[in-house]
Amino acid sequence: MAPCRDAMIKEVLTLKPDNTVAEAMEIYKKQNIRSLPVVDDEGNLVGLMGLRHVLVNLLPKSVTMEDGVQRLDFLMGAAPGIAKRLRKTLPLKVEEVMDTNPMVLEADTSTSEAVRVMALHGSPLSVVEPESGKFLGMISRQTLLGELEHLMLEMEAEGQ
C-alpha cells in the first residue's frame, strides 16, 4: 500500500515550546483547528498541543490521575472554579501543558498502518524523519480518508 506521506499536510502551522497557551488558543480560534505540533528551533518535533490538553489542565488532579474521581456532577457550581483555572492556564508555556510523547509516523509508514494507528490513538498524527525527529508534516482524518478514496478510485479505474 502507498506510504502515508501521500496523505501528509506539508504546510502546517506550528507552535514553539515557549509560546503561551493563550497564543495557542488564539491560533486555534482563528484557524478553526484543535491541535498543533510543537517544534524546537531546529524543526524537531517536541510535542503536540491541543484543546484537549488545555481542558485536562483545567481539571483537578484528583480527576486526571489514574483511578481518580470519575464524575464531577456532585460538585454544584464547579464551572466557575474550572473557569478560574483557565485564567491561570492561559499564561503557561505550551511546554508545560503539551503532550511530550505524541504518536508519530514516519513518511514511509504504509497508509494501512496509518489507519490502524489513527483508529486506535486519534488524530492528527505527526510525521517525522526517523533518524533526526525532524517534523515533516501532519496527517488528519480528512487527509487520510481523502488519500484512501483516491487509492480506491485509482484501483477502480485499473479494474481491480
pLDDT in tens, 65-77: 566 555 555 454 5
Q: State the helix-helix crossing angle for 111-121 and 141-157, rounded to 10 degrees.
A: 150
**Grid coordinates given for 114:** 496509518
Extents of the domains making up the chain: 4-157
Please state the pTM of the whole predicted model. Answer: 0.83
CA-based nearest residue to 53, from 7, 16, 92: 92
At the topology level, CATH places domain 4-157 in CBS-domain (3.10.580)
Contact between residue 110 and residue 117 where contact means Cβ atoms under 8 Å apart: no
Q: If you average pLDDT over residues 26-52, what whole number do you get?
A: 95
How does the average pLDDT of the chain come out, rounded?
87
Alpha-helical (H) ranges within 46-110 are 51-58, 61-64, 78-89, 94-97
Q: Evaluate whether 107 touches 5 at the Cβ level (below 8 Å).
A: yes
